[in-house]
Each structure stands twice: as C-alpha cells, then as structure tokens.
Amino acid sequence: MMALLGRLAGPRCSSWRCLGVILRRTHSQTFTPVQRDGARQVARGGRLLTGYSHAQSRGQHTEGADPVEVDVKRLEGEDDGIVEVLMCRHKARNALGHVFLSQMKELVSTLSGDSVVRVIVFRSLVPGVFCAGADLKERALMNNSESDLFVHGLRSLMTQIASLPMPTIAAIDGFALGGGLELALACDLRTAAYSAQMGLIETTRGLLPGAGGSQRLPRVVGITRAKELIFTGKRVGGQTALEMGLINRAVEQNQTGDAAYREALCLAREILPQAPIALRMAKEAMNRGVEVDISSAMAIERMCYARVIPTRDRQEGMAAFIEKRPPRYTGQ
C-alpha cells in the first residue's frame, strides 16, 4: 500500500488516474445498482429473507436445509435504507459455528453490493447475548489443520464486515466475548447496555484473538489498554467500555433487554438523512487514511472528495442550503 501510494503521489500521476487506481474497488461496490432477485423473499412485517436459508420464515426450514442462524430485515417508511442483520442461533448463544459463518458471509456479501442500503445494524435476537464467540464444541472435533482453516474463515468474515462500504453499527445487549467482540470491532460504531459484558478472552483458553481482535482492538482503544485486556482476558461492562472508547454509546438496559439496539437504531436514524455517497467516501477516506502516513492520507482524502464533486447529491446539498430546506438525497 505504501509503495502504491508513493507511486500515485508522484508528479507524473494525475489525480484522476490516482482516483481510478485507489477507488476502483469502492466504486464498483458503492455505485452498482443491485436488482432484487427471486432468491430474496419478503415476509410479513417487511422482513427480508435471503436465499441461502431457503426458508419461508425465521425458525422454519425445508427438509435437509440448514436452520436459519442469521437473518436480515429491511426497515420501511421513514427508516427505509436501514437494514438489520439478525443473529438468531438461540440454542448456542450465537456461537460462531460453520452454519452461522456460512450464512453470515453470504449475507454480508449480498449487502456489500446493494446501493439501496445506507446503514446496517448488527443485533442479536438471543436474550442476554450479542455473540458468545467461537463454537468450542465444533472446534473440539477439528484437527489442527481444520481449526486453522476455520479461524481463517472467521478472520475473512470480519474483514468482509469491516469492508462494507456503508456505515455499520453493532448493538451489544449482552455478552460479546472472543469472536463476538471481534465481530463488533469489525463494525464502525458500537452501542452497548451498561450490563453488557465485553472481552477478548482467548488467552484464558490457551489461544489469542484470531479473527482480527489483536489488530482492531489496539486501533480502537490504544495499544496499552488492548494489551491489558488481551493479556488478562478481562471482561468489561458498558460504562468501562464507554470510558476507554471501546463503544460509542452506553445505555441502561430496559425490561425488554434491547436498550442497546434501540440506541443503535437512534444512531442509524441520525446517519440516515446524510448523503449516501458522501458517507461511503468518508468511510473509505478514514479507513484507508489511518493505515498510512499523513501525506498519503491527504492524497486519499483528495481522491475521495473528487468522487463526490460530480454527484447530484452534492448539488442537492448546496441547493438545500441556499433554499433553507432539508436536502433530499438519492445516492446519485
């Protein structure tokens, strides 16, 4: 990446050619319309079921098909553009097993290319749990090679989530341990109940965080705090997580056990009115910029900014300001 940026920053490289090189992948993900095909089915209440489950409703499945462990819901009306990823592996507390991993990867891949999606909220339908981490019962049956391949799949999933072009929010209403916290760390923003418990506890099991946690946690809370949390396997509640910057917002848990989700939905509604292309380019600029030196980061910012200049949304934003009215962004 550094070598590439060095070449791009040279005097013989035009800004438009640089833009094409650095943003080719983002451009294809962000602005290619996706047709809603027959594999997707809308059930009652606006819930959208994905083709991987072959299910007509959550918790029901055809003979021989895997049970639905990850589902998706598109909100409607004023919340149109917000999508919820629903983790619903009730019997295993959303533990990261083969079926869960496969369904989540396919769903994330589908959402990644959907230009209609503006914000994604990851939440659990299992009371008291966000995600309990790796499925240790499945892992116990794997040999060394199989275990390595499976963890590589988990790491790939977290990278997929982190690479989603639109803003993502994790709503932590219960335990988020090991791989569960790694999933939340792959999201852009996190809300949690004060009663939630979060931690990378792998060292207490003879392991280390292997799905990106050893890299993402230091980038979120700082290297010394990350080392303390990982070396000790310590769990922290919502208040401590908020103070150290692990989460963005913390709330008191409610009687229905979904306070963090409700706060995540409020946050999603704050993001929803903003220009979709600008949001995606801002995310791209920040995510890529923090990985390089400041000079290269400024070049990335310039290229991302250049991508929003010709958009209709930018023109609408300027017109709305002059006319003193709310903007109506279309993502074009």
Quote the CA–CA distance of 313 and 315 in Å, as a whole number. 5
Token couple for 128: 């008291």
Q: CA–CA separation, 167 vs 78, rounded Å?
A: 18
Catalytic residue among 202, 211, 259, 285: 202
Torsion of CA 244, 246, 250, 254, to 10 degrees: -130
Residues 6+ apart with CB under 8 A from 124: 86, 87, 88, 94, 130, 131, 171, 173, 174
Is residue 179 annotated as a catalytic residue, yes or no?
yes
Contact (Cβ atoms closer than 8 angstroms) between residue 307 and residue 25: no
Catalytic site includes residue 20? no
Q: Which residues pair with 169 in a beta bridge?
A: 121, 189
Distances (CA, A) of 82 to 39, 79, 119, 146, 248: 20, 6, 5, 37, 19
Which is the catalytic residue, given 134, 176, 184, 299?
134
Question: Has 134 been annotated as catalytic?
Answer: yes
Residue matched to tokens 């791209």: 284
Amino acid at 69: E
Find all residues with CB under 8 Å of 112, minimum gap 6, and list them: 29, 160, 163, 164, 165
202 is catalytic: yes
CA–CA dist 253, 224 (Å, integer): 30
Query: Which residue in the list 69, 84, 138, 182 is annotated as catalytic?
Result: 182
The tokens of 64 are what?
A: 């021989």
Decide if 320 contacts 326 (C-beta within 8 A).
yes
Catalytic residue chosen out of the listed positions 178, 179, 180, 210: 179
Active site residues: 134, 179, 182, 202
